């Protein structure tokens, strides 16, 4: 391998944690392969944030900084990434499997005729080759893959690769010339509607999810309050999404979102196979359910048997107490 290019996605000139995760993993892979890493930032005003990548070992950042790129465009962004890969002579592209990364990477794959291993949870190098492990069937199984094309693309599942800081590295930013025509913006974001300031369940370090055991949508606030006290996000089982209690964007499991937070608390969720697939890679799992034989207890590290409506408020209070000390 000759060079690793990492695309660091940003919104409103902010790099999310997943961007640093990708940068850090790219530096790690490049050092194992004995080659250089370059980062790419795309947006309007992104030159000002390139410096923050130094902490993760990025020495050189390419910036495509143009007012036209203020809002995301799948067509324009993927063209810039593919062009940057060609002109940098990179043969490995790393990016995060965020909504933007998932949207760009297949287009870049087609442009460069490069294989794409999506949503990887482990990457290792051996004998100059890169091997990636990625979940399939929503996490019911994993496959290890190797990419057999000249350029190889790996997207990394957010919240899995912990960014490692490296001291004493400063990032030199270099502008890449962007020649874009109207045709390159054939798909263009006009507006972003932020539903709330909460972290998405896929990004949160702590997720508290609720299910049928909450008995009704009016009790979901108990889950939200616990999540808030812990600085986490609230998720939902498919049962209560299908019942219309919660929006689909909060659903955890197969046909919903797959999460791997440090702590997952399942409240009143029995643990259907589809749900377990989506959360069983969480580092620590707590289950609260009135049925001691519920399948959720098979994957839980800790469990309490009892009524969620009584236990959750008590748990919220207890955490408030200990966290304020």
Partner 1 sequence: MKIAVCVSQVPDTTTKVKIGADGKTIDPSGVTYIINPYDELAVEAALQLKEKQGGETIVLTAGRDSSKEVIKKSYAMGIEKGILIKSDIEMDSYAVARNLADVLKEINPDIIFFGKQSIDYDDSQVGLLVAEMLGLPSINVVVSLNIEGSKVTAEREIEGGKEVVEATLPAVICAQRGLNSPRYPNLKGIMQAKSKPIEERQPSYTENKIEILNMTLPKAKSKGKIVGTDVAAVGELVKLLREEAKVI
Span 223-282, contacts to partner 1 by CB under 8 A: 230, 247-249, 251, 254-256, 258, 262-263, 273-274, 280-281
Residues 104-143 that bind partner 1 (CB under 8 A): 105-107, 109-111, 113-119, 131, 135-143
Identify which of residues 2 and 298 has a Cβ nearer to partner 1 in the complex.
298
Q: Is 141 exposed, middle or buried (0-12, 13-18, 19+ CB in 10 A)?
A: exposed
Q: Does residue 305 touch partner 1 according to CB under 8 A?
A: yes
- What whole-number distance in Å separates Cα of residue 11 and Cα of residue 40? 14
Report, in Å, the least distance between residue 59 CB and partner 1.
Answer: 29
Under 8 Å between Cβ of 223 and 214? yes
Site size toward partner 1 (CB under 8 A) is 95
Q: Does residue 96 touch partner 1 according to CB under 8 A?
A: no
How crowded is residue 13: how many other Cβ atoms within 10 Å of its Cβ?
15
Residues 9-28 that bind partner 1 (CB under 8 A): none
Identify which of residues 175 and 249 has a Cβ nearer to partner 1 in the complex.
249
Which of 197, 218, 244, 324 is the binder for partner 1 (CB under 8 A)? 197
Report, in Å, the least distance between residue 184 CB and partner 1.
Answer: 10
Which of 3, 70, 187, 224 is the binder for partner 1 (CB under 8 A)? 187
Under 8 Å between Cβ of 131 and 115? no
Task: Determine phi and psi for 320, rounding to 5 degrees.
Answer: -55, -45
- What whole-number distance in Å separates Cα of residue 206 and Cα of residue 227? 7
Distances (CA, A) of 97 to 82, 160, 172, 323: 17, 11, 26, 33
Q: Pattern of binders to partner 1 over 76-95, x per CB under 8 A?
A: --x-----------------
Report, in Å, the least distance between residue 57 CB and partner 1.
Answer: 25
Identify which of residues 59 and 68 has a Cβ nearer to partner 1 in the complex.
68
Identify which of residues 168 and 195 has a Cβ nearer to partner 1 in the complex.
195
Identify which of residues 53 and 287 has a Cβ nearer to partner 1 in the complex.
287
Residues 49-78 that bind partner 1 (CB under 8 A): 72, 74-75, 78
Identify which of residues 174 and 310 has a Cβ nearer to partner 1 in the complex.
310
Pairing of strands 10-11, 14-15: antiparallel
Report, in Å, the least distance between residue 8 CB and partner 1.
Answer: 15
Closest CA to 186 of 100, 279, 73: 73
Report, in Å, the least distance between residue 153 CB and partner 1.
Answer: 10
Got the DSSP string for 210-263?
Answer: E-GGG-SGGGTHHHHHHHHHTT-EEEE-HHHHHTTSS-GGGBBSTTSB----SE
Identify which of residues 72 and 173 has a Cβ nearer to partner 1 in the complex.
72
Q: Does residue 180 touch partner 1 according to CB under 8 A?
A: no
Which of 120, 266, 285, 294 is the binder for partner 1 (CB under 8 A)? 285
HSE, CB side, 13 Å, CA atoms: give it for residue 206: 13
- What whole-number distance in Å separates Cα of residue 321 and Cα of residue 312? 14
Report, in Å, the least distance between residue 173 CB and partner 1.
Answer: 26
Q: Does residue 159 touch partner 1 according to CB under 8 A?
A: no
- What whole-number distance in Å separates Cα of residue 182 and Cα of residue 21? 33
């Amino acid at each position: 391998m000759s060079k690793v290019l990492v695309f660091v996605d940003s919104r409103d000139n902010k790099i999310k944690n997943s961007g640093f995760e990708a940068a850090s993993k790219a530096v790690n892979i490049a050092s194992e392969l004995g080659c250089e890493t370059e980062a790419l930032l795309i947006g309007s005003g992104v030159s000002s944030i390139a410096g923050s990548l130094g902490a993760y070992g990025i020495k050189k950042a390419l910036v495509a900084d143009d007012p036209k790129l203020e809002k995301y465009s799948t067509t324009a962004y993927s063209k810039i990434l593919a062009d940057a890969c060609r002109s940098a002579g990179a043969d490995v592209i790393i990016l995060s499997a965020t909504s933007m990364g998932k949207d760009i990477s297949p287009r870049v794959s087609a442009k460069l005729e490069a294989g794409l291993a999506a949503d990887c949870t482990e990457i290792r190098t051996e004998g100059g080759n890169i091997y990636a492990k990625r979940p399939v069937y929503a996490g019911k199984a994993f496959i290890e893959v190797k990419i057999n094309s000249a350029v190889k693309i790996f997207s990394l599942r957010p919240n899995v690769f912990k960014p490692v800081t490296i001291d004493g590295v400063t990032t030199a930013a270099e502008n890449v010339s962007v020649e874009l025509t109207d045709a390159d913006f054939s798909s263009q974001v006009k507006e972003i509607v932020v539903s709330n300031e909460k972290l998405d369940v896929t990004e949160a370090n702590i997720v508290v999810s609720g299910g049928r055991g909450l008995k009704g949508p009016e009790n979901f606030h108990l889950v939200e309050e616990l999540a808030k006290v812990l600085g986490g996000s609230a998720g939902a089982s498919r049962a209560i999404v299908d019942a219309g209690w919660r929006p689909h964007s909060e659903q955890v499991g197969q046909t919903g979102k797959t999460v791997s937070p440090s702590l997952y608390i399942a409240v009143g969720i029995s643990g259907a196979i589809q749900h377990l697939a989506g959360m069983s890679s969480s580092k620590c799992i707590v289950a609260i359910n009135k049925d001691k034989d519920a399948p959720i207890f098979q994957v839980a590290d800790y469990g309490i048997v009892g009524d969620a409506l009584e236990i959750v408020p008590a748990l919220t209070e207890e955490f408030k107490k200990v966290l304020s000390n």
